[in-house]
Amino acid sequence: MNLAPVVPEAALAAKDIAISVRNLTQRFGEVGSPQSVLALEDVSLDIARGEFLTLLGPSGCGKTTTLRMIAGFEAPDEGRIRFGDEDVTHAPADQRNIGFVFQNYALFPHLSVAENVAYGLRVRGIAEAELTSQVRDVLKLVGLAGYEHQFSSQLSGGEQQRVALARAIVIRPRLLLFDEPLSNLDARLRVQMREEIRDLQQRLAITTVYVTHDQEEAMAVSDRIVVMSQGHVVQNGSAEDLYHRPRTRFVAEFIGRVNLLPAQVVAVADGAVTVAALDRELVVRHDGAGLQAGDAAQVVLRPESLEIVRDDDPRAALQGVVTARAFLGEKVEYRVACSDTTLQVVRYNSGPGDLVPNGMVIGLAIAADAAAILREDAE
């Protein structure tokens, strides 16, 4: 059960906002010098109480800088950060009551698992009996009961990650922060740990900000995703919104695999736009806002939204030739030459003998609501 339903930022009432970030700007190096780098520019966002929000983007986009400012490890050149009604822009990290899970776990190698987890409680002056009880409870919560006396060198990567998570939540933080926490784990363990992190966050209902460059990871754990590029917020929304309704070419290409077709708007009607693409006319469900006949555009087609049919099927909006295929178990990935463009097509495998051979002429059916359309200048 999701304890933190997705709430659009515009719909958040002040009482529902756990974290408010306004107009953050950060520059590294002296202004005007060749070495000066604008890490963040006018970044604003609101995070709901209990929400799991992920900052997603390529290296150098500003996501970790934003996280470190929320944590109090860095101060912005401009802008404000509020936790509820409290302005914490210049408050030190140890006065923000946050839990932080680092990329490299940052465990103390000379301390046992129990002592690593207890560190934050000791700093807060918690009595020994209460401290021991809380450490025992949180280790049980993260699946490490019985590991109290082991040391980090004796643990696997996943176990070390659980210790880091236990240390972050044992202090009962108002905010939980993750900086690329799974990047040091192998692929299978990453999937397991992301599921455990999401489940734990939902059970505890802790407001969480998570940083990653991995699109699948972000889509799997988040209530809402903030996509960043070159120090700016490009788009934010649920995984479904970003995948099916990207507002820019960057988001369309960064979130999942995509076919982007150059097109020209032919007509705009109520609820649909007709475009010319690949020597055909395609109808795309769209409100038409900001588009008019003659505009250059791009049609966004996800590989799984293209249905392979017979070339003479009346539903076939496009025709092409299969040029390559890759059998991947539950799905088959095809490359299909249409006009002068090669499309990616995914067909989920229904059983033996279901493969389409290379060289076969096929049709591609496209549901009107399976495509999206971008203005050519929506970069």
Please check the confidence at residue 146 and state whether its pLDDT lies above 90: yes
Give 2's pLDDT tier (boundaries 50, 70, 90): very low
Q: Average pLDDT over the chain, rounded to whole?
A: 90
Please check the confidence at residue 201 and state whether its pLDDT lies above 60: yes
pLDDT, residue 6, reads 46
- The mean pLDDT of 246-256, rounded to a whole number, is 94
pLDDT, residue 169, reads 94
Q: Calculate helix-pair angle for 157-169, 187-204, nearest 10 degrees.
A: 20
What are 120-143's pLDDT values in tens digits? 999 999 999 999 999 999 999 999
Non-local (6+) Cβ contacts of 324 within 8 A are 334, 335, 358
- The mean pLDDT of 92-99, rounded to a whole number, is 93
Give 356's pLDDT tier (boundaries 50, 70, 90): very high
pLDDT, residue 4, reads 39
Residue located via tokens 């249905």:
307
Domains in the chain: boundaries:
9-249, 257-375
Phi, psi torsion values for 41, nearest 5 degrees = -140, 110
Nearest residue to 280 via CA among 340, 344, 347: 340
Parallel/antiparallel/unpaired status of strands 52-56 and 207-212: parallel
Please check the confidence at residue 14 and state whether its pLDDT lies above 80: no
Question: What top-level class would CATH report for the domain 257-375?
Answer: mainly beta
What are 156-176's pLDDT values in tens digits? 989 999 999 999 999 999 999
pLDDT, residue 3, reads 34
pLDDT, residue 184, reads 84
Q: Calculate helix-pair angle for 157-169, 113-123, nearest 10 degrees.
A: 20
Please check the confidence at residue 240 and state whether its pLDDT lies above 70: yes
- The mean pLDDT of 22-34, rounded to a whole number, is 81
Diameter over CA atoms, the chain: 77
Please check the confidence at residue 353 and state whether its pLDDT lies above 90: no
What is d(CA 112, CA 197) in angstroms, rounded to the nearest whole number? 22
Nearest residue to 165 via CA among 217, 212, 126, 116: 116
pLDDT, residue 5, reads 39
Fold entry, domain 9-249: Rossmann fold (3.40.50)
Non-local (6+) Cβ contacts of 306 within 8 A are 259, 318, 336, 343, 345, 346, 364, 365, 366
What is the rounded radius of gyration, in angstroms, for the C-alpha atoms of the chain?
25
Structural tokens at position 365: 């059916």
Give 11's pLDDT tier (boundaries 50, 70, 90): low
Please check the confidence at residue 13 and state whether its pLDDT lies above 60: no
Residue % of the chain over a pLDDT of 70: 94
Contact assessment for residue 292 and residue 285, using Cβ atoms and an 8 Å cutoff? no
Structural tokens at position 236: 């934010």
3-state secondary structure of 136: helix
